Amino acid sequence: MKLMVGVILILISVVHVIYGEKKLVKELMVLKADNSLIGSLRVMSLQGGVLLLFVGLIELMIYIGAITLFGISRFFPLGIICLNVICCLIVSIFKHRELIKAMIPQLLIFFIIIIIQLLSIR
């Protein structure tokens, strides 16, 4: 299960950065958005992508036996993903309800990842 979660998270990390750069940044440029706004989006897109990449790499390293997490640290990869999803939900629910419908496919994928992570904790 760690292998599956690791690979999925790495793939999502790449998609996250590419989508942010190719779709969202391009749309902001068409709208002639301020450079600070475009830069902020790029930073957030890259931060999210790198976060997902490193959690995916941690899951893969656990799978191949390169690292072992003990005690409460076993829950850190799961906690990072859960915090990411919770932040997304909070912003969407309280500030941008119009995003909720568009986020459903992404949320389903993350809920599956969270379930797999929960099942793979030993």
Decide: 2 and 60 in contact? Cβ < 8 Å. Answer: yes
Average pLDDT over residues 28-44: 90
Q: Looking at residue 72, what is its pLDDT?
A: 96
Which residue ranges make up each domain of the chain?
A: 2-120
Q: Looking at residue 117, what is its pLDDT?
A: 96
Write b or e for each residue in 41-64: b if 16 or more Cβ atoms lie within 10 A of its Cβ, otherwise e: bbeebeebbebbbebbbbbbebbe
Tens digit of pLDDT for each residue in 63-105?
999 999 999 999 999 999 999 999 999 999 999 999 999 899 9
Average pLDDT over residues 15-35: 89
Q: Looking at residue 92, what is its pLDDT?
A: 94
